[in-house]
Chains A and B, each alone.
Chain A
Amino acid sequence: MDQNVENHERLEKLEGIGCSRKRREDPRFIQGKGNYVDDIKLPGMLFAVMVRSPYAHAKIKSIDTTKAKAHPGVHAVLTADDLKPLKLHWMPTLAGDVQAVLADGYVSFQNQEVAFVVADDRYVAADAAELVEVDYEELPVVVDPFKALLPDAPVIRPDLDGKNVGAHGARKHHNHIFNWQIGDKDKTDRAFSDAEVTVAQDMHYPRVHPCPLETCGSVASYDAIRGDLTVWITSQAPHVVRTVVGLLSSIPESKIRIISPDIGGGFGNKVGVYPGYVCAIVASIVLGRPVKWIESRSENLTTTAFARDYWMSGELAADKSGKIKALRVNVTADHGAFDACADPTKWPAGMFHVCTGSYDIPNAHVSVDGVYTNKFPGGVSYRCSFRVTEAVYLVERMIDVLAQKLNIDKAEIRKRNFIKYEQFPYLTPLGLEFDSGNYMPALEKVLEAVDYNALRAEQAQKRADPTCPTLMGIGITTFTEIVGAGPSKSCDILGIGMFDSCEIRVHPDGSAIARMGTISQGQGHQTTYAQIIASESGIAASQIAVEEGDTSTAPYGLGTYGSRSTPVAGAAVARASRKIREKARKIAAHLLEVSPDDLEFDLDQFKVKGDPAKAKTMKEIAWAAYNNVPDGMEMGLEAVDYYDPPNFTFPFGAYLCVVDVHKKTGETKVRRFYALDDCGTRINPMIIEGQIHGGLTEGFAVAMGQELPYDEQGNVLGGTLMDYFLPTSMETPHWETDFTVTPSPHHPIGAKGVAESPHVGSIPCFSNAMVDAFAHLGTTHFNMPYNSYRVWQHAKSLGL
């Protein structure tokens, strides 16, 4: 009995995988002791603001900076002409296009960067920015990607004149960026012509913004004597930024240090390199002083990287029983004025080809056209892997459309089409290999938990009662995500494979420091990575310091987005820990004078098999690593691992949402939301729960209110938090969470990534519920966001 108690205590002390360890990062955040980029203050630091274009499309006839430069306290005013000699007035984007750093003769979206004013402080800079005189000649504007492709549409990118081939192949029009196709078109078309039933649905996934609480910003500090450049930046991918800065500046990467301090949320907004960063660096080099540039909220919402804006046409072919035979998708993707999408180089629509979802669909074909419009650039993955939210939205909506057409229950039609457990690993018709999944039990668990049949009965009753003031909708999604980009054979960014890394050093006292190529923005890496190391190496989590974000200390990695930290860096962490453990085994064997094979690892020590009294703890082994190692072994206890994943991971979930819609006002109330997630091995259940709550809340925001609409003149509407919907606790529904566990077979600890599933999976669930509320009136789809105005309009159009 004593032995059990002791073992339990050791396990608790370890705080390894599976324990709800409290987040190590919280004490500093809740006490206001975080250190964000705007908290960085350096001696002699200057502050910069951008002068931006009020017009969406205009020629710049002249820029007069005389008055601004003469304003007391102003140190520099940069325009494209100042950047030209350095060849920095344009920069490459991650999507193989170029983007103007400062407008070079014309502007092509509202709020485009035109001049950069550097002054003593942000107040002087703001005053001086008003003194920059820009003479614009307005040009016709196009904000609709379909109109942009008309023959006589305004030319959005004169710099591309005559370039018929872009980074992703042929361009068929002056505003066309690429056409990307995947799947077997002929077979798919044939399946459609042979089908008993087909359905088609157009849908728009509106332009939204990740809207992290902290906006983007940087502090650049160039030391002319040492020739070193240090940049503090709110980046989700500091190493990638270092490579980009090296490419742009010709400074060797060894002389560039990028530091991502605490980050107040990223959600994809902080992957790219923005003009403000480049200008701050140039200004610091030119002026020899540190330069800080921080976006305002509206600048963030209207210039740095939107998400989505996909116009999707989906079609399904099926037999009468609802068994799907083929999926066909055509997408017109609005990329704004520059193609600054963050996608793996080879995939201009990211991983949209996960759009066959959790279903065994034999044939599929997808075609995506990227289009320029007079809107700000982006196309980032907002709390999702590259374009996965769009893909999942499409298939989860389409299967509902099919269910309605065939009058099959929306849960039932999913069951009829699920990829079966025995079919894994499953090769999709679009070339992805789903590693694992077990969809049926997940859905059944949810249906039972909410008493699905009773909900449908209640709905039927309400539908039959014309005096009922509300409509009731039930939405279901059974989604599969693809995360953990990714295998270097298919995924790279700027030619760098999308591996990630971990380095662990165990100190003589048995404590350790670990560094990764990723960077936490709220995910709790400090907490969870330490748990993986604890379980894998036997060092208590509380003894492990986790550091990320400083390129001068952390090993190279591709950063944190697309739920890649656990699938990729987390695997590196496990493997580096195992290297530590294996070296520790040899040292223990040496100390105990047995063969390493005679030892067994038990939580935090190595024991001699059959003689458990003879043991060495990791603490003892760590000490010995610095004074008493076997002959021929190097001293020290360190390990590095660069992990190139063999495949993606495929988290999945089954969600169910119940909404009540007020017929006369369009107000909606999410009465119930039940989210079951399967992310494989669960490292920290409490953090998972927190991530799911956050993701569901963001999904709710997107579905119910987020949108960056434009008027015909190209003015972006709703670019403040008064209009852009960021739900508070008052609006946020109550979330119920649940889980199943289907470990990834190829990941060292079977983990799959979780923080994005709730965003990806919930948005179509809200849509499905909203459409379901009106389904008996013939509605098969209406577009997000479901603010009460839009819902009322829809109800009105149905004569309610």
Chain B
Amino acid sequence: MIPSPFEYHAPTALPDVIALLSQYGDEAKLLAGGHSLLPMMKLRFAAPGHLIDLRKVAELKGISVVGSQLHIGAMTTENELIFSKLVAEHLPLLAEVARQIADPQVRYKGTIGGDISHGDPGNDHPAVMMAMDATFVLTGANGERLVKATEFFHGMYDTALTPGEVMTQIRIPIPAAGTGSSYAKLKRKTGDYATAAAAVVIRLQAGLCTQARIALTNVGPTALFAGDAAASLIGKPIDDVTITQAANLAMAICEPAPDLRGDEAYKTAMAGQMVERALRLAVAHVK
């Protein structure tokens, strides 16, 4: 449990980060909260020669309302999400998911940017980002570009980030009135990744569902956007029948990898169960 030797850099401004990234190329890894990267380094699954710590880069922190969106700095920690008044007011789902990630130790260090950038299908933010229709700001030597959450995750540990880029910000539209959301996660214990989880954002108008987004955690090589499941709800009331139907459609897109948490059948069934649970909770959360 001892990492290979590496050199440590702690730049204080974003341009310096980008410069270091271009200098060291493949050799370098960005370090955010370290709670995904360091375990991999300790197991020697990752052995970067250079670690570029983002901790001192002030412009990567902070939460603000800009127009109809919430802008969240990539280096914002899970606990900052949990304790943020702006998040509580505008995007309670974000605090709800953060509370279900790992344990207090991890949440004090782990960042939303790191959780997303890592590209781990077991992480919880990716599905939530899809369900909330988030956009990521990626900054590199050539400036900024925007990538939608639904287009960001390419495969296991494989994302739209190119080697010279940093995720600097997460932008999430503030939901309209009548929206309810929830994240239902089945895990073995505190500190565990999801066996299966579902993020749901729905909008109810006059008792009918007018908007719906559903995404799933840890039942495929990336978080999965369950478009069909969500579409099946549009124009209908959310009741036992439509909930079961949506859950079945969500289960149809699952391709989980078996591990000690369960085999394919179990994880798929649990994805369905979590969709049902999240939908019921989302309805209860509508405001």
Contacts and interface: CB of A to CB of B under 8 A. Distances in A.
Asked if A and B are interacting partners, one says yes
Interface of A: 122-123, 125-127, 130, 296-298, 664-665, 667, 705, 709, 717-718, 722-723, 725-728, 730-731, 787-789, 792-793
B115 to A, nearest CB: 16
12 contacts: A123-B2, A127-B5, A296-B1, A667-B186, A705-B189, A722-B192, A728-B103, A730-B189, A731-B189, A789-B261, A792-B262, A792-B269
Nearest to B193: A722
A789 B195 contact: yes
Given A665-B273, A717-B260, A728-B191, A789 B4 contact: no
A23 B192 CA distance: 33
Nearest to A126: B2
A664 B273 contact: yes
A792 B261 CA distance: 12
Most buried by B among A297, A718, A722, A726: A722
Interface in B88-141: 103
A725 B186 contact: no
Contacts of B260: 709, 717-718, 723
B180 to A, nearest CB: 22
B266 interface: yes
Interface in B1-15: 1-2, 4-5
Contacts of B142: none
A32 B65 CA distance: 43
Nearest to B267: A789
B186 A788 contact: yes
Contact of B190 (A126, A705, A730): A730
Most buried by A among B1, B4, B44, B269: B1
B266 A793 contact: yes
Interface string B35-60: 00000000010000000000000000
Contacts of B273: 664-665
A383 B191 CA distance: 25
Contacts of A725: 188-189
A517 B190 CA distance: 39
Contacts of A718: 260
Contacts, number: 52
A123 B261 CA distance: 33
Contacts of B190: 728, 730-731
Given A709-B260, A789-B261, A298 B1 contact: yes
B194 interface: no
Given A123-B2, A667-B186, 14 more contacts: A122-B2, A127-B5, A130-B44, A298-B1, A664-B269, A664-B273, A665-B270, A665-B273, A725-B189, A726-B189, A728-B103, A728-B191, A730-B189, A731-B190
B188 A705 contact: yes
Contacts of B188: 705, 725, 787-788
B119 to A, nearest CB: 18
Contacts of B1: 296-298
Nearest to A722: B192
Interface string B173-213: 00000000000001011111101000000000000000000
B196 to A, nearest CB: 9
A731 B103 CA distance: 13
Interface in B248-277: 260-263, 266, 269-270, 273
Nearest to A664: B273
Contacts of B2: 122-123, 125-127
Most buried by B among A130, A664, A717: A664
A722 B193 CA distance: 9
A488 to B, nearest CB: 43
Decide if the interface of chain A is mainly helix, strand, loop or mixed: loop
Contacts of A130: 44
A130 B44 CA distance: 10
Contacts of B5: 123, 127
Closest 9 pairs between A and B when the two form their complex, measured CB to CB: A126-B2, A789-B262, A730-B190, A296-B1, A728-B190, A723-B260, A665-B273, A731-B189, A789-B266
Contacts of A726: 189
Nearest to A709: B260
A126 B5 CA distance: 10
Most buried by B among A123, A665, A726: A665
Nearest to B276: A664
Given A728-B190, A731-B190, A787-B188, A127 B266 contact: no
B35 to A, nearest CB: 12
A731 B192 CA distance: 12
A628 B269 CA distance: 83
Contacts of B269: 664, 792
A730 B103 CA distance: 10
Given A664-B273, A718-B260, A728-B189, A792 B4 contact: no
Contact of A665 (B44, B186, B261, B263): B186
A787 B269 CA distance: 15
Nearest to A730: B190
A130 B2 CA distance: 11
B198 to A, nearest CB: 13
Contacts of B186: 665, 667, 788
B134 to A, nearest CB: 27
Nearest to A728: B190
A600 to B, nearest CB: 57
Contacts of A127: 2, 4-5
A664 B195 CA distance: 14
Nearest to A297: B1
A499 to B, nearest CB: 40
A788 B194 CA distance: 13
Contacts of A296: 1
Contacts of A723: 260
A665 B266 CA distance: 9
Contacts of B4: 127
A663 to B, nearest CB: 11
A664 B196 CA distance: 14
Contacts of B193: 722
Contacts of A717: 260
A52 to B, nearest CB: 13
A792 B191 contact: no
A257 to B, nearest CB: 30
Contacts of A705: 188-189
A123 B44 CA distance: 12
Contacts of B266: 789, 792-793
A247 B25 CA distance: 57
Contacts of A792: 262, 266, 269
B189 A788 contact: no
A768 to B, nearest CB: 22
Given A126-B2, A665-B270, A793-B266, A727 B189 contact: yes
Nearest to B187: A788
A788 B189 CA distance: 11
A329 to B, nearest CB: 30
A681 to B, nearest CB: 37
A709 B260 CA distance: 9
Contacts of A709: 260
Interface in B208-267: 260-263, 266
Nearest to A122: B2
Most buried by A among B1, B189, B269: B189
A730 B261 CA distance: 19
Contacts of A793: 266
Interface in B128-163: none
A788 B273 CA distance: 13
Contacts of A298: 1
Nearest to B277: A665
Contacts of A297: 1
A130 B190 CA distance: 33
B215 to A, nearest CB: 20
A378 to B, nearest CB: 20
A788 B191 CA distance: 16
Nearest to B44: A130
A122 to B, nearest CB: 6
A788 B192 contact: no
